[in-house]
Structure 1
Amino acid sequence: MTTPPRHTRLTFHGPLSEARADRLISRLTRTTPTTVLDIGCGWAELMLRVLAAAPDATGTGVDIDTAALARGRQAATARGLADRVRFVEGSAAETPHDPADLVLCLGASQALGDRLPEALKKLRLRVADGGRVLLGEGFWQRTPTTAELSGMWPDAAVTDHHDLATLVDLAIEAGFRPEWTETASLEEWEEFESAYLADVEVWLAEHPGHPLAAETRERADRHRARWLTYRGVLGLAYLTLVPTA
């Protein structure tokens, strides 16, 4: 049975452009990391690019998504990086790992704790002194209205995120200094969210009577309605963090 494709139009699983990725990689490899840890790695596109730019580095990606990890392994093999990276299926909070020179945590802090201050403290323990953390974390660009919250994810609340200034302050309180603060642009958000659904939308147009069409259509419509509600309200910060000694 033909099933809807998933994520084939996505390069990164988040609002991240090629140009920003290149700048991040240049900054993050300036300290010549030899160990890289990717928390909630998905298919670990950014980590694989870091490894390609840092030939002496090895990487570990941790995630609970079996399909995403399989895609990451295939990409690593295709790029000749399979002997320098390992993918671990499991909880990031429970997977032991020595402090790494570079830690990537993009949209995955919840893997280390339900509350951001707690997750940031655990993140500090996972990076070596002199290393770097790249944190990709959501923040409110403005306080959402009650009506907007009702159209977002289930049980969405103002307390789900902080504003950008508070987010940076929390990182400092957890033992970091912000080397660089930047935020995803609206164009990056639209590119990501459109690509997230594009394959499914085309499939639905071509298979309107498919047994899976009704369920798939409902899921796609729900996702689109949510992101169009938080469009311009929810931001994503990319913080390059230096651990304090």
Structure 2
Amino acid sequence: MLRILEVTPGATGVGIDLNEDDLARGRANAEERGLADRVRFVQESAVGTARGPADVVLCLSAGHALSDAQPPEHITAALHALRRLVTPGGRVVLGEGFWQRTPTPGELSAMWPDASPSEFHDLAGLVDIAVAAGFRPLWIETANGDEWEDFESAYQSDVEEWLAAHPDHPLAKETRDRVDRHRGMWLRGYRDVMGLAYLTLVPVN
């Protein structure tokens, strides 16, 4: 959202989340970019919010927050919620996971608990759901391998550096177990199996 505001003079934005730490980080980033007077961060659920509709609605890997349904049914509910939040002729940018190919039993066992082949659609199925929910797909993109590696490495790099400097810290074992488990999920589980799609959607009148 902040990147969009930087290149769109006069535009304003609202960030909605239930996690106050994430909202505080957003406020700090906005202040650092000189955007604090054009953006608000509010602690509430986007489900049933009275805010909006907006010209651009971003939902990046957060569709699960818009529905209590189990994956992958949550995507349909999330798209209907997003449909209500966007103006006619506006845009929804949806970031959602999909299977690049059906995972093997070994790959599933290395992922998160209870990982299942039915948890995601393939890319075509994800786009079909967006169309059925009342959108037309203007642009279909997917994260490439370099982007995945950048994300996964950056996600844990500060913790890895801390572990290297504090191997005997009282919290080291717990922290080491957590990051080792996550790295294993990625490298032995969903790497080159799960993709991330970015769909730019326009609502049908």
TM bracket, shorter-chain basis = over 0.9
Partner of 2:136: 177
SS in 2 for 1:216: helix
Partner of 2:104: 145
1:205 to 143, 158, 164: 164
Partner of 1:13: none
Relative to the length of structure 2, the TM-score reads: 0.94
Partner of 2:116: 157
Q: Does 1:78 align with 2:38?
A: no
Shift of 1:148: 1.3
Shift of 1:98: 2.0
1:91 to 45, 66, 90: 45
SS in 2 for 1:198: helix
Dislocated runs of 4+, deviation >2 Å? none
Partner of 1:101: 55
**Distance of 2:44 and 2:93 partners within structure 1:** 21
Q: Does 1:57 align with 2:16?
A: no
CA displacement, residues 106-131 of structure 1 (integer Å, 9 cap, x when unaligned): 00011111321111111111111010
SS in 2 for 1:197: helix
Partner of 1:112: 66
1:235 to 192, 195, 199: 195
1:136 to 89, 95, 98: 95
Partner of 2:148: 189
**Distance of 2:153 and 2:29 partners within structure 1:** 23
CA displacement, residues 204-242 of structure 1 (integer Å, 9 cap, x when unaligned): 111010001000000000110111110000000001111
**Distance of 2:154 and 2:6 partners within structure 1:** 25
Which consecutive residues of structure 1, in runs of 5 or more, have no partner in the other structure?
Answer: 1-46
Q: Given residue 103 of structure 1, which amino acid in structure 2 is its aligned partner?
A: V
Relative to the length of structure 1, the TM-score reads: 0.79
Q: Given residue 123 of structure 1, which amino acid in structure 2 is its aligned partner?
A: L
Q: Given residue 151 of structure 1, which amino acid in structure 2 is its aligned partner?
A: A
Count of paired positions: 199
Task: Among all aligned residue pairs of Structure 1 and Structure 2, give the percentage whose two residues are the same amino acid.
Answer: 63
SS in 2 for 1:93: coil
Shift of 1:65: 2.3
**Distance of 2:111 and 2:50 partners within structure 1:** 34
CA displacement, residues 26-85 of structure 1 (integer Å, 9 cap, x when unaligned): xxxxxxxxxxxxxxxxxxxxx011111111211010112222211110111122211111
Partner of 1:3: none
Q: CA-atom RMSD, angstroms?
A: 1.0
